[in-house]
Amino acid sequence: MVRCILKFAELLRKAGIRITPVEIQDCMKAVELTGMEKSDFKYTLRSTLIKDIRELQVFDKLFELYFCAFVKETWKVSNEITLQQRKTVGQEAKGLGKSGAGGPGQDILSVLASGNEELLDKTAQDVVEALGCLEPRDIENIREKVQEAKVKLEWYMALHEMDKKMQEEKINFSTYQEWHSRLRDLERKIEKELHSFFINNYGDKALQKIAEAQNINQNDFLQLNAAEIEQVKEKLARLGKQLSFKKSRRYRPAPRGRIDIKKVSKKALACGGVPLEMVYKRKRPERPELVILCDVSNSVSRYSFFMLQTVYAAESFFKDIHTFAFVDHLSCISHLFRRMSPEKAVLEIKSLSEVSDSGCSHFGQVFFEFYTNYFYLINDKSTVIILGDAKNNWRSSGVDYFKKMVQRSKRLYWLNPQPFKEWDKDDSIMSTYAWYCTGVYECRNLQQLEQLVNAIF
Amino acid sequence: MRFLGVTQVFKSIENISDKLYNSNYLADRRLAISVFLAEELQKPLLVEGPAGVGKTELGKALSRAAGISLIRMQCYEGLDEAKSLYEWNYQKQLLYIQNAAGKTGDGGWEKLQQSIYTEEFLLPRPLLKALRSDEKVVLLIDELDKSDDEFESFLLEALSEYQVTIPEYGTITAVNAPLVVLTSNSRRELSDALKRRCLHLYIDYPSMERELQIVKMKVPGINEKLAEQLVKFVQSVRNLRFTGRDGLKKPPGISETIDWARSLLMLQVESLDKETVSDTLSVLLKYLEDTAQVEKRLAGLMPG
Tens-digit pLDDT profile for residues B19-33: 999 888 988 888 999
Identify any residues that bridge with B140 across adjacent strands, giving them in sequence order. B72, B181
Let me know the angle formed at the C-alpha of B126 by B124 and B127, rounded to the nearest 5 degrees: 90
- List chain A residues with CB under 8 Å of B202: 53, 56
Q: Which 8-state DSSP code applies to residue A73?
A: T
Most confident of A239-253, B96-110, B177-191: B177-191
- Residues A40 and B57: their CA atoms lie apart, in Å, by 23
A235 falls within a domain: no
- Lowest mean pLDDT across A10-24, A300-314, A399-413, B238-252: B238-252
Per the CB < 8 A criterion, the answer to whether A232 and A303 are in contact is: no
A233 falls within a domain: no
Residue B138 has a pLDDT of 92
Averaged over B250-275, what is the pLDDT? 89
Q: How many CB atoms lie within 10 A of CB B90?
A: 11
Per the CB < 8 A criterion, the answer to whether A414 and A441 are in contact is: yes
Same domain as A85, residue A35:
no
Residue A100 has a pLDDT of 38
ipTM score: 0.83
CB proximity A358 to B under 8 Å = no
- List chain A residues with CB under 8 Å of B13: 34, 40
Most confident of A137-146, B56-65, B95-104: B56-65
Q: How many CB atoms lie within 10 A of CB A376?
A: 7
Q: Over 60: is that where the pLDDT of B177 sits?
A: yes
Residue A85 has a pLDDT of 46
Q: Which of the residues B188, B198, B200, B207 would you substitute to probe the A interface, choosing the one with the greatest number of A C-beta atoms within 10 Å?
A: B200
Put the strands of the sheet holding B70-74 in their side by side order.
B70-74, B138-142, B179-184, B45-48, B199-202
Burial class (CB in 10 A: 0-12, 13-18, 19+), A199: buried
Same domain as A157, residue A140:
yes
Residue B269 has a pLDDT of 86
- Lowest mean pLDDT across A336-340, B15-19, B85-89: A336-340
CB proximity A176 to B under 8 Å = yes
Same domain as A83, residue A67:
no
Full DSSP string of A241-302: HHHHTPPPSTTSSSSS--B-HHHHHHHHHHTTT---S--B---PPP--EEEEEEE-STTTHH
Restricting to B residues 223-252, those with a Cβ less than 8 Å away from any Cβ of A are 232, 236, 239-240, 242-243
Q: Per-residue confidence at B165, pLDDT binned at 50, 70, 90?
A: confident
Same domain as A317, residue A448:
yes
Per the CB < 8 A criterion, the answer to whether B205 and B164 are in contact is: no
Amino acid identity, position A265: S
Q: Which of B161, B181, B222, B210 is nearest to B71 (CA)?
A: B181
Same domain as A100, residue A62:
no
CB proximity A202 to B under 8 Å = no
HSE on the CB side for A252, CA within 13 Å? 7
Same domain as A109, residue A195:
yes
Q: Which of A27, A56, A71 is the last residue of a domain?
A: A71
Most confident of A65-69, A72-76, A398-402, B103-107: A398-402
More confident residue, A72 or A259: A259
- List chain B residues with CB under 8 Å of A19: none
Which residues lie closer than 8 Å to A323 by C-beta, 6 or more apart? Answer: A292, A294, A308, A311, A332, A333, A334, A336, A337
CB pair distance less than 8 Å for B239 and A51: no
CB pair distance less than 8 Å for A181 and B239: yes
Q: Which 8-state DSSP code applies to residue A374?
A: I
More confident residue, A284 or B222: B222
Same domain as A51, residue A126:
no
Burial class (CB in 10 A: 0-12, 13-18, 19+), B172: buried
For residue A28, what are the domain limits? Answer: 2-71
Angle, helices A106-114 vs A75-99, to 10°: value is 100
More confident residue, B213 or A84: B213
CATH number of the domain to which A371 belongs? 3.40.50.410
Same domain as A123, residue A15:
no
Residue B113 has a pLDDT of 78
- Residues A120 and A185: their CA atoms lie apart, in Å, by 8
A62 falls within a domain: yes
Identify any residues that bridge with B201 across adjacent strands, giving them in sequence order. B47
Q: Over 90: is that where the pLDDT of B47 sits?
A: yes
- φ and ψ of A67, to 5 deg: -75, -25
Q: pLDDT tens digits for A363-391?
A: 888 999 999 999 888 888 888 989 888 88
Q: Which of A195, A214, A209, A112 is nearest to A153 (CA)?
A: A112
Q: Which of A232, A267, A284 is the last residue of a domain?
A: A284
Q: Per-residue confidence at A82, pLDDT binned at 50, 70, 90?
A: very low
Q: Per-residue confidence at A123, pLDDT binned at 50, 70, 90?
A: confident
A12 falls within a domain: yes
Residue A257 has a pLDDT of 65
Q: Over 70: is that where the pLDDT of A94 sits?
A: no
A61 falls within a domain: yes
Q: Per-residue confidence at B99, pLDDT binned at 50, 70, 90?
A: confident
Q: Where are the beta strands (DSSP E) in chain B?
A: 45-48, 70-74, 86-88, 122-124, 138-142, 163-166, 170-173, 179-184, 199-202
Q: pLDDT tens digits for A353-364?
A: 777 777 788 888
Q: pLDDT tens digits for B51-81?
A: 888 899 999 999 999 889 999 999 988 888 8
Per the CB < 8 A criterion, the answer to whether B214 and B261 are in contact is: no
- Residues A93 and A193: their CA atoms lie apart, in Å, by 16
CB proximity A226 to B under 8 Å = no
Q: Which of A50, A71, A92 is the last residue of a domain?
A: A71
Q: b/e map of B44-65 (b: 16 or more CB within 10 Å)?
A: bbbbbbbebbbbbbbbbbbbbb
Which runs of consecutive H residues, i.e. helices, occur in B67-106?
81-84, 90-100
- List chain A residues with CB under 8 Å of B297: 173
Q: Which of B294, B246, B288 is nearest to A173 (CA)?
A: B294
Q: Over 50: is that where the pLDDT of B270 sits?
A: yes
Q: What share of chain B is helix, strand, coil (3-state, %, to 5)?
A: 50, 10, 35
Residue B64 C-alpha, separation from nearest chain A C-alpha, in angstroms: 23
A236 falls within a domain: no
Residue B222 C-alpha, separation from nearest chain A C-alpha, in angstroms: 24
Residue A84 has a pLDDT of 44
Mean pLDDT score of chain A, rounded to an integer? 78
Residue A443 has a pLDDT of 85
CB proximity A26 to B under 8 Å = yes
Q: What is the total count of domains within chain A?
A: 4
More confident residue, B91 or B297: B91
Same domain as A118, residue A23:
no
A50 falls within a domain: yes
Residue B69 has a pLDDT of 92
Residue A101 has a pLDDT of 40
Per the CB < 8 A criterion, the answer to whether A315 and A244 are in contact is: yes
Same domain as A184, residue A114:
yes
Averaged over A68-90, what is the pLDDT? 46
Burial class (CB in 10 A: 0-12, 13-18, 19+), A140: exposed
Q: How many CB atoms lie within 10 A of CB B174?
A: 21
Q: pLDDT tens digits for B271-289?
A: 888 888 888 888 888 888 8
- φ and ψ of B70, to 5 deg: -110, 130
Q: Which of A331, A338, A239, A242 is nearest to A292 (CA)?
A: A331
HSE on the CB side for A44, CA within 13 Å? 24
Per the CB < 8 A criterion, the answer to whether A333 and A349 are in contact is: yes
Length of chain B: 304
CB proximity B34 to A under 8 Å = yes
Phi-psi region of A414 (alpha: psi -120 to 50; beta: other; left: phi over 0): beta
CB pair distance less than 8 Å for B202 and A33: no
CB pair distance less than 8 Å for A176 and B200: no
Residue B269 C-alpha, separation from nearest chain A C-alpha, in angstroms: 23
Residue B290 has a pLDDT of 86
Closest partner residue to A180 among B43, B202, B243, by Cβ? B243
Q: pLDDT tens digits for A28-55?
A: 989 988 888 888 888 999 889 988 887 8
Which residues lie closer than 8 Å to B90 by C-beta, 6 or more apart? Answer: none
- φ and ψ of B72, to 5 deg: -115, 135
Residue A108 has a pLDDT of 75
Same domain as A107, residue A92:
yes
Averaged over B26-42, what is the pLDDT? 90
- Lowest mean pLDDT across A102-116, A159-173, B9-23, B130-144: A102-116
- Residues B197 and B38: their CA atoms lie apart, in Å, by 11
Same domain as A452, residue A331:
yes
Residue A99 has a pLDDT of 38
CB pair distance less than 8 Å for A177 and B30: no
- Residues A300 and A349: their CA atoms lie apart, in Å, by 13
A377 falls within a domain: yes
